[in-house]
Amino acid sequence: MAFVKPSISSKSSINDIADWIELKVLQSEFKRFRFSQLHRMQDDEGDAASSNYEKIDTEQEENILDWIEEITKRSNSLGNSYPFILSRKEIRLKDLTAELNQGNYAYLLCLFLSHAKDTDAIEGTQFLKLKNNDPARELFQVISTIAASGYINGSSISFGWPRQDQSNFPDALKRLCLYTADGAKFAKNPHAAAPKRVKDFEIDIVSWIPTNDNLPNKMFLVSQVASGENWTSKPLRNSILAKLTYWLESDFSSRENIATGLFIPFCIEPQNGETRAERLEYLCGGSLGNLIFYRDRIPFYVDQVYRSNMNSKKEILIERVNDFESIISWVNEKLELLAS
């Protein structure tokens, strides 16, 4: 079944068009897409739209340059963690058996999850058939946990429910206090506002930068993972910091050293003529108040972990880092389905 749309409108978002080109690469027999195909697609759209051919030609050329520029930006930002290779005439997938690294697989997982529903690029509902508790969503938490470690160059724990050891929230928080060695203590009498039953309190990942003497007063990144389209409605900083005080003793020395983050598989989509930088300023500064890790960032920091062998350093703890084979298997399965 051909899941990828045969063509895409120039009126689609810049991210959907760039994603469509990448998906066409993955769908093709020889895992490549020649940019001349964009000219043919634009010619067909122009013939149906107007008789002003000179104006159409100019607009088409500008569109194509914008689309290629978007792909080039992705390649430049991600470097070796971008799974495609660009040339002047085409884009192709790296060799599956020889060239793809963990960052590349993280990118492909994010690309597929970005289209879990039907979009202008692909019939995502039929392609992925994701359920609310689908393993793919847990796999995204795995790469987010690893990427958080790569970003801060430190330890990272997958804290969200369901936890691998099936521990409840109080026990998981006690374990976290022990691991971080930061002086945080589980409260003997949790705050009256603390619920009796809680899974993760919207805390999916806890990461921290170790110190040379492993004594209190460290920098923390507390993050949530959101693979659904409602991620823009997830401000975290105030709610997470407030909720932690329900369960920890008030003399927690690093409470002012906590940053909050949000991990999403999507690319940032500019709105109403904004640049991507302006959109991020709005989201991170006013709307959400978090650091945002998205598809142009996550694969890079995943690659950092494996490239520098961070998981082999005794002072750094990275949970789920050995689960990457599950991600590779899932992505390869979807690649085969896409090309079938």
Q: How far apart are CA 101 and CA 96, in angstroms?
A: 9
Provide the residue ranges of all domains of the chain, joining segments of one domain with +.
14-108, 135-339
194, 244 contact by CB (below 8 A): no
Residue 93 φ then ψ, to 5°: -80, 140
**What would the 3-class secondary structure string for the chain be?**
CCCECCCCCCCCCHHHHHHHHHHHHHHCCCCEEECHHHHHHHHHHHHHHCCCHHHHHHHHHHHHHHHHHHHHHHHHHHHHHCCEEECCCEEEECCCCCCCCHHHHHHHHHHHHCCCCCCCCECHHHHHCCCCCCHHHHHHHHHHHHHHHHHHCCEEEECCCCCCCCCCHHHHHHHHHHHHCCCCCECCCCCCCCCCCCCCCCCCEEEECCCCCCCCCCCEEEEEECCCCCHHHCCCHHHHHHHHHHHECCCCCCHHHEEEEEECCCCCCCCCCCCHHHHHHHHHHHHCCCEEECCCCHHHHHHHHHHCCHHHCCCCCECCHHHHHHHHHHHHHHHHHHHC
The whole-number pLDDT of residue 34 equals 95
Residue numbers in the chain where pLDDT is lower than 50: none
The whole-number pLDDT of residue 211 equals 87
From the CB of residue 213, how many other CB atoms can be counted at a distance below 10 Å?
Answer: 7
Q: How far apart are CA 20 and CA 7, in angstroms?
A: 8
The whole-number pLDDT of residue 170 equals 75
The whole-number pLDDT of residue 307 equals 92
The whole-number pLDDT of residue 176 equals 81
Query: What is the value of pTM for the model shown?
Result: 0.91
Q: How far apart are the first and last CA of the chain?
A: 7
**The two three-digit tokens of residue 163, written as one number:** 């936890």
Per-residue DSSP letter, 160: S
From the CB of residue 251, how many other CB atoms can be counted at a distance below 10 Å?
Answer: 9
From the CB of residue 333, how many other CB atoms can be counted at a distance below 10 Å?
Answer: 10
Pairing type for strands 84-86 and 90-93 reads antiparallel
